[in-house]
Structure 1
Amino acid sequence: MSLSGALSNALSGLTANARAAGLVSANIANASTESYGRRTLGLSSNGAGTTGGVRIDGVIRHVDAAILSDRRQSDAALANGDSLHAFVSRIETAVGDSEAPGSLANRVLAFENAMIAAAANPAATQRLESVAYSANALADTLRDLSGTVQQARTDADRSIAAQVTRLNDTLVRIGDVNTDIVAAQAGNGDTASLLDERQRLIDSIAEIVPVRIIQRDRGAIALYTTGGGVLLDGKPSVLEFSPTAAVSPHMILSGGPLSGLTLNGNPVTAPPAGMFGGGDLAAQFEIRDIAATGYQAQLDGIARDLVERLGPGGPDATLGATDPGLFTDLGGAFDPLNETGLAGRITLNALVAPGGGGSWRLRDGLNAAGLGDVGDGRLLQGIADALTASGLPASPALSPVSRSFADRAADFTAAVTGDRVRAESAKVYLTTRNTALSELELSTGVDTDQELQILMRIEQQYAANAEVMSTVDELLMRLLNI
């Protein structure tokens, strides 16, 4: 080998060593950076007819595609489970524990106890007022619970709108990065940083909807949902959704005023089923259209049970068939065909409003012409008996089993608690799985100990190449001195 060939070989080695050392430095600096792919230098020997040495083929970015895909699916499932758990926990907090003051069960118990106490001494105005206050508090609690459920639906609707906007914006950015990667590869440029950015963008939407990646030519990708929806293939798709200012109990998706999703102008099956199922977007649709409407229906059934137990045909013989009872539908009589949303409209009859001076009507009858026998507690006892009597519900939303009113409220409280426990168990599992996959992904990423070992080898190779150059320089100097 000639001296110039040896010098060329050593110089190519030094250049590769310097580039490799820079990659090691970048790897260590970004060891904890999300979406960063570990880099190594692609090298090959110069071909025949050259003086030898090494050629830099480019930067190689290392990512385990299978683990990355599993982690993204786990991200979507965890976001779904976390949103559903947060929703059920919100409802459980509003319903309250059976023993907690102000809870639904506690309000029912307070109303029943007040009624029993008044029946024992019907002449005591204070006890009659206590019945009015406790009845009014029970109606308030039902309305508050209905409001909480509808606010949760409204919040879910707004979250859907925000996620659709974020998804559309991110798909456009992924499309732009796709174009940049294709251009960089065509010019033999370094695409590692662009690939990092694309991975980060995909990760940012993986929680919204589970995604599947298909490789295309020249480094481009197509992006699909795991349900088969096209998010990006050549150009980004466009999702559309129309938010609602405030969701009310009568608003439904099927044939109602609530918006569904469209993909490139075509309606798609509303999550949680269909091509957009599985992520946080699906969870918000499930909250808005399934879970919350189910709770609302049960609350409406409980309110109907209360209204009808103490309405016409009940213990108060002064009520006509069309008169509002002790509990009313916004002051009027309840129409069985208008059960939806009743829990948000139920009110205590204004004739016995607390502090209004009409509490004697609880003893003598809502439509009594005047004061009766102050010692007659039959109506009060009748009301108490109507509350504790077991009967089948008229509402189709309630279980068709015989229950007292207190049992109805207790069943609802227990059902919500059970839903929360199941949602929490699912969330714990999903969190554990996601953590395990994230740790597995990190284990295939940058290992700082390994990078330092590589750096030591680079230093040794650098020293060897430098020694060759020093020897060649010494030989050249001797030749010049001859």
Structure 2
Amino acid sequence: MSLASSLGTAQAIFRNTGQQTSVLTTNVSNDGNDNYARRQTVVVQTVYGATMVQTERSQQMALLRQFSNSTSQQSAQDTLLEGLETLSSTLGGNDYELSTATYLANLQSSLQSFAAAPGEYALASTVVTDAIDVANSLNNAAAATQSLRADTDAQIAEQVESLNKLLAEFKTVNDTVVRLTATGADADNYLDRRDTLVKEISGIVGVSINMRDFGDMVLYTSDGTTLFETDPREVTFTRTNTYDATVSGNAVYIDGTPVRAGVGGNTDGQGTLSALVQLRDVIAPTFQTQLDEVARGLIEAFAESDPNGVDPDMPGLFTWPGGTTLTSGVVEPGLSALIRVNTAVRSDSGGDPMLIRDGGINGATYVQNTGGSSGFTDLINAYVDELSADRSFSADADLTTATSLMSFSSDSIGWLEEYRSNATTASENKTALYERTYQTYSTKTGVSLDEELSLLLDVEQSYKAAAKLVSTIDEMLQAVLEMAG
């Protein structure tokens, strides 16, 4: 080997180690950055015999697909669980002390006490107070349910806005990746940003990734709707500001296709949008229907009948602004928000609680205790029996259609808590899957500080070898100059 070729070799080593050091120090500075894919250097030999360093990015497309999928599943499940916990909080604590079922049990107990001493005004007042608690619990639960729907609708609007912004940025980054890849330029930083955008998008809506020439990426939703292909598809949503039981929320459209609501406590939805739609359009309305059916059952159970069979049945202890009886088994939307205790029995409104014993809440023709007996219990006992008697409920409530009012109100709690329990278990499982996927993805694409420092030591040894070679060449050149004299 000539001195000139040896010097060229040393220069190549210095050049290559400089490039390697630059890449390794960049890796080290990004240790802990989840949105950075590790770069690695490879020394290759050209067709002319020279050596050079190529930089390769740790790209794991299969793992990225799996990671985005687990992100979509976890975000949907956590969103659903959060909404269910909000609904569950309306029931109170572990003993469901704020639930309608609890207040109904108190009302039944006070009725039984009143039946044992029907002449006691204080016991009649207790029945009225417990009845007010029942009505208030239904009013509050209905308000909380519709508040959840309104809040969910607002979250949908925010998520749609975020998704459109992410897709707009995705186009800019993707176009840059395609251009740089086609010209052979370094696109690694833009690839990092694009992968980050994919992760963020997958948290909002499930995505499927397809690759084309020059690194061009196409995104589809988990249901197969085109989300991005050269240009982002339009994601549209019109917000509804005020909700009640008669209002239906607007759909979210991606490229003209509505986003499907998730199904079940272990939701099959992917991304926050599907879970939010499930909460707003499936779970909350079903719970509202259950509340409305409890309210209808109460009005039926305490309705007054004309003992002579002339006048129609009328709402008694419990009434509503409609002021008429309701059709058995047919939902009256929003009834739980409207039910109230009749002012005729409320002493704070000038009423007489003893009408619960005697009848006549709707006037003299509905009086049952025509003799004015202080020991009259027929009507009170009838109310107690009505609370435990089977009646028809709508199948839309997703509960048993023929059961007692007491059982139906308890079953409503069970329905919600079973939903929440399933969602909790599923959230734990999906979080575990997400964490395992994240660890695998991070291991393959992330920076290991120990590995980078070890490689820096190897590069240092190469640099020392080149420096030693230059030193040797210098000594040889000095010897040659001295001989030349």
TM-score, normalised by the number of residues in structure 1: 0.90
Aligned to 1:255: none
Report the equivalent of 1:367.
362
Query: 277, 280, 286: which is aligned to 1:285?
Result: 277
* Aligned counterpart for 1:146 among listed residues 142, 146, 150: 142
Q: Which residue of 2 aligns with 1:247?
A: 243
Select the residue among 232, 235, 250 that pairs with 1:259: 250
Instruction: Give the drift of 1:401.
Output: 5.4
- Per-residue CA deviations over 1:298-319 (Å, capped at 9, x if unaligned) read 11111111111111449x8899
Query: What's the CA shift for 1:39?
Result: 0.5
- The structure-2 alpha-carbon separation of the partners of 1:31 and 1:124, relative to structure 1 and needing over 3 Å to count, comes to same
Q: Map residues 11-410 of structure 1 onto 2, 5 A cutoff.
A: 11-48=11-48, 52-57=49-54, 59-96=55-92, 99-252=95-248, 258-264=249-255, 266-268=256-258, 270-272=260-262, 277-313=269-305, 320-321=311-312, 323-330=314-321, 332-336=323-327, 339-358=332-351, 359-365=353-359, 366-369=361-364, 372-388=372-388, 390-398=389-397, 399-400=399-400, 402-410=402-410
How far did 1:91 drift? 1.9
Mapped partners of 1:311, 1:396: distance in 2: 23
The one-letter code matched in structure 2 to 1:75 is: T
Q: Partners of 2:478 and 2:309 in 1: how far apart?
A: 124
Q: How many angstroms does 1:165 deviate by?
A: 0.8
Q: For 1:283 and 1:334, how far apart are their aligned partners in 2?
A: 37
What per-residue deviation string (whole Å, max 9, x for no partner) do you get for residues 371-401 of structure 1?
933442332222222222x213143335455
Separation in 2, partners of 1:319, 1:376: 23
Q: Deviations over 1:223-271 (max 9, x none)?
A: 222321212111111110001102221123xxxxx3112334x243543
Q: Counterpart of 2:274 in structure 1: which amino acid?
A: A
CA distance in 2, matches of 1:313, 1:391: 19
CA drift of 1:402 comes to: 4.4
Q: Percent identity?
A: 27
Query: What are the Cα deviations for residues 87-129 of structure 1, in whole angstroms up to 9, with x where unaligned?
Result: 2222222124684433322201111111112222222222111
What is the distance in 1 between the residues matched to 2:400 and 2:196? 52
Aligned equivalents of 2:96, 2:284: Cα separation in 1: 23
Secondary structure of 2:239's aligned partner: coil
- Cα distance change of structure 1 residues 294 and 137 upon mapping to structure 2, 3 Å threshold: same
Once residues 202 and 83 of structure 2 are traced to their aligned partners in structure 1, the CA distance between those partners, rounded to angstroms, is: 21
The residue type paired with residue 56 of structure 1 is V
Q: Which moved more, 1:276-285 or 1:404-413?
A: 276-285
1:155-178 per-residue CA deviation (whole Å, 9 max, x = no partner) reads 221111111111110011011111
Find the residue that maps to 2:348 and give its secondary structure.
coil
Question: For the structure 1 residues 97 and 176, does the alpha-carbon distance in structure 2 shift closer, same or farther, using more than 3 Å as the test?
Answer: same
Aligned length: 468
1:73 Cα deviation (Å)? 0.5
* Cα separation, 2, equivalents of 1:480 and 1:354: 121
The 8 Å contact of residues 391 and 405 in structure 2, kept in 1 or not, is answered as no
Q: Do the aligned partners of 2:177 and 2:187 also contact (CA within 8 Å) in 1?
A: yes
Structure 1 residues 354 and 201, CA, compared in 2 at 3 Å: closer, same or farther? farther
Q: Structure 2: which amino acid aligns with 1:87?
A: G
* Counterpart amino acid of residue 455 in structure 1: L
Task: Between 179-188 and 189-198, report the one with greater CA deviation.
Answer: 179-188
Counterpart of 2:3 in structure 1 is: 3
In 1: Cα distance, 2:93 partner to 2:406 partner: 14
Q: State the alpha-carbon separation in 2 of the partners of residues 161 and 195 from structure 1.
A: 29
Q: State the partner residue of 2:460.
A: 459
Contact 1:129 1:355 (8 Å CA) reproduced: no
Kindly provide the amino acid, as one letter, of the partner of residue 392 in structure 1: R
CA–CA distance in structure 1, aligned partners of residues 136 and 308 of structure 2: 26
* Partners of 1:268 and 1:297 in 2: CA distance: 24
Partner of 2:476: 475
Q: Is the 8 A contact 1:331 1:349 kept in 2?
A: no
Counterpart-to-counterpart distance in 1, 2:348 and 2:19:
85
Counterpart AA for 1:201: L
Normalising by structure 2, what TM-score? 0.89
Give the whole-Å Cα distance in 2 for the aligned partners of 1:153 and 1:102: 20
Aligned 8 A contact 2:293 2:331 in 1: no
Q: Which runs of 5+ in 1 are unaligned?
A: 253-257
What secondary structure is seen at the aligned counterpart in 2 of 1:232? strand
Range with bigger deviation, 35-44 or 158-167: 35-44
Residue 271 of structure 1 aligns with an amino acid whose one-letter code is A
Structure 1 pair 346/317, CA: closer, same or farther in 2 (3 Å)?
A: farther
Residue identity in the other structure for 2:215: G
CA distance in 2, matches of 1:128, 1:331: 26
Give the Cα–Cα distance (whole angstroms) in 1 for the partners of residues 88 and 310 of structure 2: 36
Q: Any conservation in 1 of the 2:393–2:401 contact (CA below 8 Å)?
A: no
State the Cα distance separating 1:22 from its structure 2 match: 2.2
Evaluate the alpha carbon distance shift between residue 17 and residue 55 of structure 1 in structure 2; reply closer, same or farther with a 3 A threshold. Answer: same
Give SS of 2:228's match. strand
